A = this chain, B = another copy of it.
């Protein structure tokens, strides 16, 4: 990654800094870890275990926690102290990202196919080979990269980013500030059939999907449309790659759903639920506020608010760990019991 960012413009976005050392440089040209950084780079100490690497880094700018005692021994090296180096770093990354992001704006690419009736906001960018259907709406500042499909009557808010090859199918609604990664499918047919004899008759799905503001959805994840009404993803929820969300599911606000999780139809999450990778949920369950589900867990019953479950069947994580330890003692236990029997 190479870029050129004025040091001043970065520092003014960060609150309450203490600057130590001096430099005749004024440009940041890269970001890297302590050990890989070179002249011109900004680096950071986010995890105390790398503290010893600070003194040897070649970076020109070093983000440090306030309580970092040492001073820079190098010429042309700044120590920049802040309460939260990792939070400051995230902010700097957002500045860089916004620059790269704005560079990618192309307006409406000549190869895109946009229906006359679609309503396109100011400063929208629509990439090569995109299709925007009848009656679709796209809010201001939204960036849509190549090969996206915006179906009939679908809508997208402002300040969204759709990476290449997102499929937002007809009638589905996306809020503001939403990021959809490549290959995301929103509004696929739900998995619902009516068994008539040995035949599984298709139940067409006439509902939609609603994605609220500030949601992020990872690459190749799928969200099925509701049978009749809506599947809904709550504000600020972050979904990783290759996640499956079934028809009629309701996900609350601020949930974290890690890669390859599967959530069957009509499940409801309250706010702040956190789900580890590859966990699965059977249909029609309720998961209470702030519940945590460990990776690979299989949930087949309602989950209470604040619970932390693991395993299949899912049990409290403490009990699961205790049982795991004891299972490893089973060979010994059975041996001992066999011996006791012999003695008798």
Contact = CB atoms under 8 A, between A and B. Distances in A.
Interface in A274-333: 277-278, 280, 282, 295-296, 298, 300, 311-313, 315, 319, 322-324, 326-331, 333
Interface string A240-275: 111010100000001010111010100000001000
Number of copies: 3
Interface string A215-233: 0101110101001110000
B165 A165 contact: yes
A277 B326 CA distance: 27
A interface bracket (residues with beta carbon within 8 Å of B):
35 or more
A201 interface: yes
Contacts of A272: 198
Interface of A: 1, 31-33, 36, 86-87, 89-90, 93-94, 96-97, 100, 104, 109, 111, 113, 127-129, 131, 145-147, 149, 151-152, 163-165, 167, 169, 171, 179, 181-183, 185, 188-189, 191, 193-194, 196, 198-208, 216, 218-220, 222, 224, 227-229, 236, 238, 240-242, 244, 246, 254, 256, 258-260, 262, 264, 272, 277-278, 280, 282, 295-296, 298, 300, 311-313, 315, 319, 322-324, 326-331, 333-334, 337
9 closest Cβ contacts across the A-B interface?
A: A97-B204, A188-B219, A219-B222, A149-B164, A185-B219, A244-B259, A182-B185, A191-B240, A326-B330
